[in-house]
Amino acid sequence: MEWTDTTNPYTIRNIGISTGWGSTGIWSFPCQDCQVPIIKTPNLYKYIPLTDNGIAMGNPVRQSIRFKVKANNDAHVALMSSNNPNDPLYEIVLGGWYNTQSVIRDRKQGGHLAVYRGRVLNSNEFRTFTIKWSNARIRVEDESGKKLMEWTDTTNPYTIRNIGISTGWGFDWNMVIPCQDCQVLIIKTPNLYKYIPLTDNGIAMGNPVQQSIRFKVKANNDAHVALMSSNNPNDPLYEIVLGGWGNKQSVIRDETGWSFGSVSWTSAQFK
Distances (CA, A) of 149 to 20, 139, 160, 205, 220: 51, 6, 18, 33, 52
Residue 98 has what DSSP assignment? H
Question: Comparing C-alpha atoms, which of 93, 199, 204, 200 is closest to residue 151?
Answer: 93
CB 233 within 8 A of CB 16: yes
- CATH fold for the domain made of 38-176: Jelly Rolls (2.60.120)
User: Mean per-residue pLDDT for 83-112?
Assistant: 95
Q: What is the pLDDT of residues 29-82, one digit of tens each?
A: 765 444 455 677 777 788 888 888 767 676 556 788 888 888 888 899 999 999
- The H or E element that residue 244 is part of is helix 244-247
Q: What is the mean pLDDT of residues 160-169?
A: 84
- The string of pLDDT tens digits covering residues 168-190 is 665 556 766 655 544 456 888 99
pTM for the whole thing?
A: 0.56
Q: Name the residue among 231, 63, 44 with its Cα closest to residue 163.
A: 63
Query: Backbone phi, then psi, for 245, in 5-degree steps?
Result: 55, 55
* Contacts (Cβ under 8 Å, ≥6 apart) of 144: none
Over residues 193-224, the pLDDT tens digits come to 999 988 887 776 765 567 788 788 999 999 99
User: What is the domain partition of the chain in residue ranges?
Assistant: 14-33+183-270, 38-176
Confidence band, pLDDT 50/70/90 cuts, at residue 18: very high
